[in-house]
Amino acid sequence: MEISKAKTNNPIIKKFFLYLLLIVVTIFMIGPFLWLLSTALKSGSENIFQYPPKLLPENPTLTNFVKVMDTFPFWRYLFNSVVVAVLTVFLNVLFCSLAAYPLARMKFKGKNTIFILVLSTMMIPFQLLMIPVYIISLKLGLQNTYMGMVLPHVTTAFGVFLMRQAFLTVPKELDESARMDGANSFQIWWRILMPLVKPSMVTLMIFTFVSAWGDFLWPLIIVNDQDMFTLPLGLNMLQGTFTSDWRLIAAGAIISMIPIIVFFLFLQRFFIKGAMNGAIKG
């Protein structure tokens, strides 16, 4: 009994099973991406529906990627997606942090009630808000514009919550010291709090970028000019044109995923720290 118990408590065995579990989960998570990449690299002579399926292409080729970019204005769609995503990230971080500052650092009547009301909006699906937001966008003349696509994502309850939790982790003594030096509320927000909550801010940037980049429903509603299409709309057009050639569809999907991967890899060192900061104090 003691020997078996010692084997069970062996840290090496625990690490082995832990890493084995992580490897299995990793394979399960990246499996669809690997299959998509394999399909995009297969030549026209290979049967992508063969059974049993083959993951590795017999003759890997980049022809599908070249054909996709030559047949469709992918660079235009990519430019539109980049503009929309960058504007969304900038405005979301700006307005969410401005809204979170008084909820975290100021004392006023009804502060907690306002915060609860802000959080309660997370329970309302966007589909219920599409019609009023669409009418507002039309009256503002935002149809077929970048700002029209950005409008619904300018401020989110999740962003306000995340930035508020991040501001709460900063000692209030810093605010008092800054006020003694003559700083106003805006200067405290910009020069003291924002640099100190950079990990949480980057976390919000990543979530917002991924959401804006992959948004399909709202651009489909507010945009009817093909020159203003984003990559998700372009991919939908690609699927409608090449319904029988899934190699080209897979190649287009891979191209649309590259910016998200690059953006995350560039900012990943802040991601875990920022995600944990939001759970420290509430």
Question: Each residue of 65-85: pLDDT tens digit?
Answer: 888 888 778 888 889 999 999
CB 44 within 8 A of CB 247: yes
Q: Which one is predicted more confidently, 135 or 278?
A: 135
Longest CA–CA separation in the chain, Å: 77
The whole model's pTM is what? 0.81
- Find the Cα–Cα–Cα–Cα dihedral 192, 194, 196, 200, rounded to 10°: 160
Residue 281 predicted with pLDDT over 50 = no
Q: What is the mean pLDDT of the chain?
A: 84
pLDDT of residue 282: 43
CB-based contacts of 264, cutoff 8 Å, min separation 6:
206, 210, 271
Region 225-254: mean pLDDT is: 78
Q: Which of 48-52, 87-91, 233-237 has the lowest mean pLDDT?
A: 48-52
| Cα–Cα–Cα angle for 251, 254, 257, rounded to 5 degrees | 155
DSSP letter string, 55-69: SS-SS--SHHHHHHH
pLDDT at site 30: 84
- Percent of the chain residues topping a pLDDT of 70: 89
**Confidence at 240, pLDDT banded by 50, 70, 90:** low
Bond into 52 cis (ω within 30): yes
Average pLDDT over residues 94-119: 92
pLDDT recorded at residue 272: 60
Tell me what pLDDT residue 51 has: 75
At 65, the amino acid letter reads F
Contacts 24+ apart (CB under 8 A), 69-74: 69/255, 71/241, 71/248, 72/234, 72/237, 72/238, 72/252, 73/226, 73/227, 73/234, 74/231, 74/234, 74/252, 74/255
- Best CA proximity match to 34, nearest among 50, 54, 52: 54
